Structure 1
Amino acid sequence: MDISRLSDKINHTLTTLHYGDNPAELYEPIRYIMALGGKRIRPLLVLLAAEMYDDNVENALLPAAAVEVFHNFTLMHDDIMDRAPLRRGKPTVHEKWNANIAILSGDVMLVRAYQLLLQVEQNKLAKVLELFSKTAAEVCEGQQHDMNFEQREQVSIQEYIRMITLKTAVLLGFSLELGAILQGAPDSDAEHLKLFGNNIGIAFQLRDDLLDVYGDKDKFGKQVGGDILSDKKTFLMLTALEKANQEQLQTIISWRNRTGADTAEEKVKAITKVYDELQIRQQTEQQIDLYFKNAIHHLDAVQVTEERKATLRGLALQLMERDS
């Protein structure tokens, strides 16, 4: 299995998709966001799972593209909700056009994702559409939980893990499950691959939380400490709130809602100091390791040769060891 070859197939398929032409304001934003690139991890997972069972993955290309179109639809709408000015270093759709256009263009992307999934073989179509619809709803649930957490004083670590499972992990799990289903894999294998993806997705998000505080600014590609500055309830912050003594808790509370640029560096240093005192970095790394091991346990249970699992195993290691 050659990841670069599969990535080329994905990129070629995505460039050949036609969304529509008129009105231009509806379709141009779709072409724009899809051209911004990204890691294309989700369609790659579809193909990697498919190739475990059959070297010919042509039948999985359009369904894999559907997952990527859906993912970018969620990003387009998330950016509106987050009022994000940039996506992959370029103006977001609602900034370049406006929020109404971004909403409508996103809606068309969701419709297009379903149209692409209609290419699935008839005897597998109902199952795929049912699983995709369930996953799509879960992603929306995760986003709503995330927004709810911004308004809540207290959020438990368990609630946070549930939120990132829905918002981030379930789509990775579905991508792998989809690839397996398309090639007629046993139900038990499809389930193990889904759970592998879910656990990798949770570990991936926890790694993201960690890098936001402890990452190398030059490699991370965005402001280190951004989550601290925006008072985001990440795994690190929630663990600190749970473990903090009275003095540490007072430090965290005293910096909450202080957003001035003149105190930004001081705020990041103060909160990071509390994290260091409580060994939050080590505790986060332990959780990442736990979910990664759970993922590998499910990959080990998949009934194909080790040789056919090797690329997926390697990609998982790569995602977990990333520093950006």
Structure 2
Amino acid sequence: MSPAIFIDALQQELQSIQYGQNPPELYNPIRYIMSLGGKRMRPLLTLMGAYLFTDDWRKAVRPALGVEVFHNFTLMHDDIMDQAPLRRGQPTVHEKWNGNIAILSGDVMLVNAYQLMLNVEADKLAVALARFSRTAAEVCEGQQMDMNFETRWDVSEAEYIDMIRLKTSVLLGYSLELGGLIGGADEETNLHLYEGGMNIGVGFQLKDDLLDVYGDPAKFGKQVGGDIIANKKTFLLIEALAQAKGPLRDELIDWLTRTKFDKAEKVKAVTAIYDQLGIRELTELRINEYFARGFANFDQINARPERKGLLIQFARQLVERES
């Protein structure tokens, strides 16, 4: 089995989804953001989770897309909050239309996500929806924590990890768990899937923080250095604030407190501070630690080796990604 088969199945089903027609200002932004592509990582994890335990993995396709629609709903709203200009290399919905349209279209996407989740088999639907609802609330909790961090300079590494666990990782964990549930895995196995996805998710977000500073703009698809420009509390900034001393700390604080600055100059200067403190290497160490935990969780899963190998190979590609 090749991941390409899963991707083709997801793409074919995506093209058949009817979000709605009128008014077009409500539904066109949904079609737009869903057409921008992306890694489709979450629905892929759901299909791989189902494939671990059943040949009938296609019954997980529409629920998997429910997770993907929900994920894109959160991106649409996050972009408004962050005033982000680009998403996957293209204008964000609030830039292409306006903020009010982006809010309302996002609301409809959440409804559509639940409609797609209703395709889970009846005997598993209550558990799937209960876990989905809890996960959706946790994603919002993580986003609120992220916004709370904007006015704090004392955010600890532990607090930050907890925030990204909620904002990013729980949905990855749920994606795998959903696949296991649909595939017929037992409760203990689904817990291993969930925790594995969670650990991979923390590593994934830490890698995202790293790429925002050190990524190739042509590959990353978002504004490189955007987190530095916005003083966003990322793992890199939190560690730099914890470690910088003397003149180096004064320089970092100066850049963080300036109200007027050249964006490119700030990105270059703060990146140079990260380089002096070894922040890139520390971040890479943490990334590898969390991915190793995820692989250890997957080792506990009792499934056919070639099927589990597909999941592990996919996770390893996330470790090595450049975008």
- TM bin, normalised by shorter chain, reads over 0.9
Map 1:61-140 to 2 at 5 A. 61-140=61-140
Map 1:157-168 to 2 at 5 A. 157-168=157-168
Aligned to 1:213: 213
Task: Indicate how the Cα distance of structure 1 residues 83 and 228 shifts in structure 2: closer, same or farther if over 3 A, else same.
Answer: closer
Task: Indicate how the Cα distance of structure 1 residues 65 and 231 shifts in structure 2: closer, same or farther if over 3 A, else same.
Answer: same
Shift of 1:260: 4.7
Question: 1: CA distance between counterparts of 2:115 and 2:27?
Answer: 16
Q: Do residues 279 (structure 1) and 275 (structure 2) align?
A: no
Q: Which segment drifts farther, 44-53 or 105-114?
A: 105-114
Task: Indicate how the Cα distance of structure 1 residues 222 and 75 shifts in structure 2: closer, same or farther if over 3 A, else same.
Answer: closer
SS in 2 for 1:256: helix
Shift of 1:221: 3.5
Aligned to 1:305: 304
Question: 1: CA distance between counterparts of 2:285 and 2:115?
Answer: 42
Shift of 1:321: 0.8
Q: Which segment drifts farther, 293-302 or 35-44?
A: 35-44
> Does the 8 A contact of 2:88 with 2:221 survive in 1?
no
Question: 2: CA distance between counterparts of 1:116 and 1:316?
Answer: 25
Question: 1: CA distance between counterparts of 2:245 and 2:254?
Answer: 14
Aligned to 1:40: 40
Shift of 1:132: 0.0
TM-score under structure 1 length normalisation: 0.95
Counterpart code for 1:237: L
> Does the 8 A contact of 1:77 with 1:106 survive in 2?
yes
- Residues paired across the two proteins, number: 323
> Does the 8 A contact of 2:89 with 2:222 survive in 1?
no
Map 1:237-276 to 2 at 5 A. 237-258=237-258, 260=260, 263-276=262-275
- Structure 1: tracts of 5 or more residues without a match: none
Question: 1: CA distance between counterparts of 2:89 and 2:74?
Answer: 18
Question: 1: CA distance between counterparts of 2:229 and 2:96?
Answer: 26
Shift of 1:259: 5.9
> Does the 8 A contact of 2:65 with 2:116 survive in 1?
yes
SS in 2 for 1:19: coil
Question: 2: CA distance between counterparts of 1:209 and 1:29?
Answer: 27
> Does the 8 A contact of 2:227 with 2:234 survive in 1?
yes
Shift of 1:159: 0.9
SS in 1 for 2:120: coil
Identity over aligned pairs, percent: 59
Shift of 1:225: 2.5
RMSD: 1.5
Task: Indicate how the Cα distance of structure 1 residues 315 and 119 shifts in structure 2: closer, same or farther if over 3 A, else same.
Answer: same
- Structure 2: tracts of 5 or more residues without a match: none
> Does the 8 A contact of 1:229 with 1:267 survive in 2?
yes
> Does the 8 A contact of 2:236 with 2:279 survive in 1?
yes
Deviations 1:157-201 (A, max 9, x none): 111111111111111110000000001101111111111111111
Question: 2: CA distance between counterparts of 1:97 and 1:264?
Answer: 25
Task: Indicate how the Cα distance of structure 1 residues 211 and 12 shifts in structure 2: closer, same or farther if over 3 A, else same.
Answer: same
Question: 1: CA distance between counterparts of 2:76 and 2:227?
Answer: 20
Counterpart code for 2:11: N
Task: Indicate how the Cα distance of structure 1 residues 145 and 295 shifts in structure 2: closer, same or farther if over 3 A, else same.
Answer: same
Question: 2: CA distance between counterparts of 1:201 and 1:107?
Answer: 25
Aligned to 1:291: 290
Deviations 1:54-103 (A, max 9, x none): 12212101101111111111111111211223222322222222222222
Question: 2: CA distance between counterparts of 1:136 and 1:114?
Answer: 11
TM-score under structure 2 length normalisation: 0.95
Question: 2: CA distance between counterparts of 1:200 and 1:122?
Answer: 30
> Does the 8 A contact of 2:240 with 2:277 survive in 1?
yes
Counterpart code for 1:290: E
Aligned to 2:321: 322
SS in 2 for 1:33: helix
> Does the 8 A contact of 2:50 with 2:179 survive in 1?
yes
Aligned to 1:52: 52
Question: 2: CA distance between counterparts of 1:47 and 1:264?
Answer: 41
Deviations 1:285-310 (A, max 9, x none): 11111101100000000011221111
Task: Indicate how the Cα distance of structure 1 residues 107 and 271 shifts in structure 2: closer, same or farther if over 3 A, else same.
Answer: same
Q: Which segment drifts farther, 252-261 or 135-144?
A: 252-261
Question: 1: CA distance between counterparts of 2:94 and 2:267?
Answer: 29
SS in 1 for 2:150: helix
> Does the 8 A contact of 2:49 with 2:179 survive in 1?
yes
Aligned to 2:4: 4
Question: 2: CA distance between counterparts of 1:224 and 1:28?
Answer: 28
> Does the 8 A contact of 2:199 with 2:294 survive in 1?
yes
